[in-house]
Chains A and B, each alone.
Chain A
Amino acid sequence: MEHTLLWIPLFPLLGALFNLLFGGLIARAAGPRIGKEVAHLVAIGAVAFSCFFVFSLVLQPGHGLGFLHLLQTGNLREIIPGPGRSGHRIVDQVYPWIVSGDTIVYFELLLDNLSGLMCLIITGVGLLIHIFSVGYMAKDDGYHRYFAYLNLFMASMLILVLGKSLVLTFVGWEGVGLCSYLLIGFWFTDEAKATAGRKAFITNRIGDFGVILGMLILFSVLGSLDYDAIRGACASVADTPLLAEETKIFGLTAATAATLCLFLGCTGKSAQIPLYVWLPDAMAGPTPVSALIHAATMVTAGIYLCVRLNFLFALAPMTMAIIALIGGITAFFAATIAITQNDIKKVLAYSTVSQLGYMFLAVGMGAWVSAMFHVMTHAFFKACLFLGSGAVIEACHHNQDIRTMGGLRQKMGVTAATFLISCLAIAGVPAFSGFFSKDEILLHTYTYASAWSPGLNYVGYLLGMAAALCTAFYMFRLYFLTFEGKWRGDSHTWEDYVKEHWIMSLPLVVLAVLATFGGFLGYPHALPGHTKLPHMLDAWLEPVVEISHAFKGEYAIGLRTQLDGAPMWFSDGHHITPAAEYTFMGASVAVAFVGIGVAWMLYRNGPSAQAEAWAKRLGLLHTLSKSKYYVDELYRELILRPLYRISQLLWLGVDQALINDLGVGGVSGTVKVSGDLARLWHNGSLRRYLSMLLFGALVVLGAVYCNPRVAQVGPNVLNEGDPGGLRPQLGGVPVDWSRFWYRDADPPAGRTKAPSGAPTGPVRPEDPERARRVQPGGAR
């Protein structure tokens, strides 16, 4: 097949088209049951196809990227053909997309180690969530519409990660934003849900504006947005145009300015401070959507973009410091909110924001691989958590308040078990996937440092540890309140709960397995058996991040193993010592168990009096957390209200008064008034028309007569003294009658024509044509 990669996003796109165009028709023609069968078979089939494509391309050593080979040998170097470590890439140049002068933007897809990893996550988790949706959405009327949007999302997301240039990535970036909006507002008859969709879309637009600006800066400096071109331009710190003096913008280097703008887009898409506010509200959508879009895939697009452009970000230490700071603060801040939320999905939403903060902390510390590692493990356990919450919500008849749940483990064993596994993973309990990725991020945060921001690593580490503590606590608070203790809802729901169905349990089990073992792809160096089980993700992503890693210590990001000549305590001068790694691990594990222990003490039998007491004792802090720090209210007062005022001014002042009333209304009013006036003349009286006709004729004649500049017709032949023009003084000078009546003194009787020969009377001015005509024997 020629276009190998094109099929990956094309299958879901075709599925979406099919369901959008024919889904409703089929349901109407063949009944809702068959309609739903067709809708989900098409949608799942499409995703399964592209999933198969991705897996075969990534895993195969022969034609693909050879992930299996890496798994077996732990070494990527052997299978990479060609010189150096350029990676085994598959490029699919579909067609020249934008051709404008010298600038050609190709519709070009790239499957390399990074996009391959992302594609694995997207299609794999996406497929599971499609399957889960069959159970979750079974009773919904918008079934085919739901699957069409879901497929459209898959296509957009795959274009986002497969695009070989920023332009194409941006297409996917906008596409996933659109699908997110469509799916958040999926039940759009509910005003609040439709508003949540709009909020997500508008907030994301603010970020997208940053992405566009960043793209424009890069394009103006480099003349291309192709990732390879940018990579080439970033290859050397010494002579990259992005750091040159003449490309500075407001005193910032082009690299810093561009990355700051791009990061603004990332804060929108990946829900970081200050643009995270849409994500908790996005829980208005169907729960599988929350799992797929607002936890596992779409929100990681920002991290993907940073890692994809790691060589560019590495040139901008200031941006990196800002990213790390914002990531760390977001991680902690969102985790503290999650502690007090009572909506099962809201807890998970703030947890997602917090975990994304971790990933950005890693990005900001130059730990690109760790960020991607956490993207992967987070996709597994967070998708599992969300799907589990979906199963719970379904069982409780769409009740989401954990205060009225409890003891559900007795009713839904599979869901409870998978949920527990995922909680252990996200809390960072050893051997589960989240432990490895989170620990790696914290380790790198502490030990990596930028020359630009000394001390930031300690701040980031503290924020990360605090967030880890909160995470362990709120996740187990959630688990205990939902699955343990006694049922606190009404007995009717308890008796009549919706039983687990295998189609919903299957994805849960698969995801729980992945959440358990996914961490072993990034097995730490210090632990025993490392020689047998190396850090595979490091090897896998090495070709992607090699440039920015080459900058280590040279320019921006450095492994801070030495300070002022002396090795730091965690370093032997070159590497981090195993003892130090164990220390960090021990700290993380301790924090995780403290969090879990506190949750166990306070909530193991439902909300306890102790918890109440603690809430009272914390007073203001508890209120702040519970009301989400009033950020929504703050935004409403500081941004929305002035904007609303300005909009109202523009609406009433400019649009209504100036444009509508004065402009449009003025024109039409003038026409109307003049029409009314003119209508008075048109009164049907024939005699008045005629008088006006006469009057008009007189005016015209008078104007002609009075105008001295009207065409001169030569001297007045009737009157020698008259210079001519249209004002011959006819009455002024007497005219010889005989000359008037007959041209000759003695005309022959009956002749009216002047005889030949020179006329004696007045003649018209020279007119050879007329003279010829009046000649006897002439043409006439």
Chain B
Amino acid sequence: MISITAPLYLAFALFIIGVIGVLVRRNVLIMLMSIELMLNGANVALITFSRLWGDLDGQVFSMFVIGVAAAEAAVGLAIVVSIFRSRASVDVDQLTALRD
């Protein structure tokens, strides 16, 4: 007997690890990676419930999430590269142009 909670705990753990990563790290690359973790945590939860209800909607949705994540990674990394080119740094605490 496995409780439904097991995969949900996994999903929660992934998400929290991602959140903590986003919040505590200053390196944009690491933050992007953490965001991937969060997305995949959400994916796990989607798939869990998909199994629970016995239909494919959740799984299809997670495929979309993966696709969006790929696109996001591509755009995000491109932004990181251009930021690095102009600033020679990927520290988010230095990226305050919009405030100033």
Q: Are A686 and B54 in contact (CB under 8 A)?
A: no
Smallest Cβ distance from B60 to chain A, in angstroms? 12
Smallest Cβ distance from B25 to chain A, in angstroms? 8
- Given known A686-B92, A774-B55, contact A730–B23 (CB-CB < 8 A): no
A683's closest neighbor in chain B, by CB? Answer: B99
Whether B45 is near chain A, meaning CB under 8 Å from some CB there, is no
Whether A676 is near chain B, meaning CB under 8 Å from some CB there, is no
Chain B interfacial residues counted at CB < 8 A: 24
Q: B24: which A residues are within 8 A, CB to CB?
A: 687
Q: B8: which A residues are within 8 A, CB to CB?
A: 730
Q: Are A740 and B52 in contact (CB under 8 A)?
A: yes
Whether B19 is near chain A, meaning CB under 8 Å from some CB there, is yes
Q: Are A752 and B53 in contact (CB under 8 A)?
A: no
Q: A736: which B residues are within 8 A, CB to CB?
A: 1
B92: contacting residue among A682, A687, A718, A753, CB under 8 A = A687
* Residues of chain A in range 724-759 having any CB-CB distance to chain B below 8 Å: 730-731, 734-737, 740-741, 743, 752-754
A738's closest neighbor in chain B, by CB? Answer: B1
Q: Are B4 and A740 in contact (CB under 8 A)?
A: yes
Smallest Cβ distance from B15 to chain A, in angstroms? 11
- Given known A684-B98, A718-B4, A735-B3, contact A761–B22 (CB-CB < 8 A): no
Q: A684: which B residues are within 8 A, CB to CB?
A: 95-96, 98-100
* Residues of chain A in range 72-106 having any CB-CB distance to chain B below 8 Å: none
Whether B79 is near chain A, meaning CB under 8 Å from some CB there, is no
- Given known A740-B51, A740-B52, A752-B56, contact A687–B3 (CB-CB < 8 A): no
Q: B23: which A residues are within 8 A, CB to CB?
A: 687, 690-691, 694
A682's closest neighbor in chain B, by CB? Answer: B99
B1: contacting residue among A691, A737, A774, CB under 8 A = A737
Q: B96: which A residues are within 8 A, CB to CB?
A: 683-685
A687: contacting residue among B2, B22, B98, B100, CB under 8 A = B22
Bound state CA distance, A683 and B93, in angstroms? 10
Name the prevailing secondary structure of the A interface residues.
loop
Q: A683: which B residues are within 8 A, CB to CB?
A: 96, 99
Q: A682: which B residues are within 8 A, CB to CB?
A: 99
Bound state CA distance, A165 and B51, in angstroms? 92
* Residues of chain B in range 3-37 having any CB-CB distance to chain A below 8 Å: 3-5, 8, 19, 22-24, 26
Q: Are B5 and A730 in contact (CB under 8 A)?
A: yes
Q: Are B51 and A741 in contact (CB under 8 A)?
A: yes
* Residues of chain B in range 48-100 having any CB-CB distance to chain A below 8 Å: 51-56, 92-93, 95-96, 98-100
Q: Are A731 and B2 in contact (CB under 8 A)?
A: no
Smallest Cβ distance from A754 to chain B, in angstroms? 5
B19's closest neighbor in chain A, by CB? Answer: A694
* Residues of chain A in range 681-725 having any CB-CB distance to chain B below 8 Å: 682-687, 690-691, 694, 718
* Residues of chain A in range 229-282 having any CB-CB distance to chain B below 8 Å: none
Bound state CA distance, A327 and B81, in angstroms? 98
Q: Are B54 and A752 in contact (CB under 8 A)?
A: yes
Q: Are B4 and A753 in contact (CB under 8 A)?
A: no
B3: contacting residue among A731, A743, A770, CB under 8 A = A731
Whether A616 is near chain B, meaning CB under 8 Å from some CB there, is no
Bound state CA distance, A737 and B55, in angstroms? 17
Count, A-B residue pairs, CB within 8 A: 59
Q: B55: which A residues are within 8 A, CB to CB?
A: 753, 770, 774
- Given known A682-B99, A743-B54, contact A730–B4 (CB-CB < 8 A): yes
Bound state CA distance, A731 and B24, in angstroms? 31
Bound state CA distance, A754 and B98, in angstroms? 53
B98's closest neighbor in chain A, by CB? Answer: A684
A740's closest neighbor in chain B, by CB? Answer: B4
Among B3, B19, B52, the most chain A Cβ lie within 10 Å of the Cβ of: B52
Q: B5: which A residues are within 8 A, CB to CB?
A: 730-731
Q: A690: which B residues are within 8 A, CB to CB?
A: 22-23
Smallest Cβ distance from A716 to chain B, in angstroms? 12
Bound state CA distance, A667 and B90, in angstroms? 43
Smallest Cβ distance from B79 to chain A, in angstroms? 12
Bound state CA distance, A741 and B7, in angstroms? 12
Bound state CA distance, A75 and B5, in angstroms? 122
Whether A764 is near chain B, meaning CB under 8 Å from some CB there, is yes
Bound state CA distance, A618 and B93, in angstroms? 96
Q: A753: which B residues are within 8 A, CB to CB?
A: 54-56
Bound state CA distance, A686 and B24, in angstroms? 11
A718's closest neighbor in chain B, by CB? Answer: B4
B50's closest neighbor in chain A, by CB? Answer: A752
- Given known A694-B19, A764-B53, contact A734–B3 (CB-CB < 8 A): yes
Bound state CA distance, A753 and B4, in angstroms? 19
Smallest Cβ distance from A212 to chain B, in angstroms? 62
Bound state CA distance, A754 and B54, in angstroms? 7
Smallest Cβ distance from B97 to chain A, in angstroms? 8
Hey, what's the 0/1 contact readout for A655-694 against B, CB within 8 Å counting as 1? 0000000000000000000000000001111110011001
Q: B51: which A residues are within 8 A, CB to CB?
A: 740-741, 752
Smallest Cβ distance from B24 to chain A, in angstroms? 8
Bound state CA distance, A520 and B60, in angstroms? 115
Bound state CA distance, A770 and B54, in angstroms? 12
- Given known A687-B22, A753-B55, contact A737–B2 (CB-CB < 8 A): yes
A741's closest neighbor in chain B, by CB? Answer: B51
A686's closest neighbor in chain B, by CB? Answer: B92
A744's closest neighbor in chain B, by CB? Answer: B54
Among A683, A687, A764, the most chain B Cβ lie within 10 Å of the Cβ of: A687
B22's closest neighbor in chain A, by CB? Answer: A690
Bound state CA distance, A423 and B31, in angstroms? 106
A685's closest neighbor in chain B, by CB? Answer: B93
Smallest Cβ distance from A227 to chain B, in angstroms? 75
Q: A761: which B residues are within 8 A, CB to CB?
A: 54
Bound state CA distance, A682 and B4, in angstroms? 41
9 nearest A-B pairs in the assembled complex, by CB-CB distance: A684-B99, A684-B96, A686-B92, A737-B1, A737-B2, A743-B54, A754-B54, A735-B4, A731-B5
Chain A residues at the B interface, C-beta cutoff of 8 Å: 682-687, 690-691, 694, 718, 730-731, 734-737, 740-741, 743, 752-754, 761, 764, 770, 774
Chain B residues at the A interface, C-beta cutoff of 8 Å: 1-5, 8, 19, 22-24, 26, 51-56, 92-93, 95-96, 98-100
12 intermolecular pairs with C-beta atoms under 8 Å apart? A687-B24, A690-B22, A690-B23, A718-B4, A730-B5, A730-B8, A731-B5, A734-B1, A735-B4, A743-B54, A752-B54, A754-B54
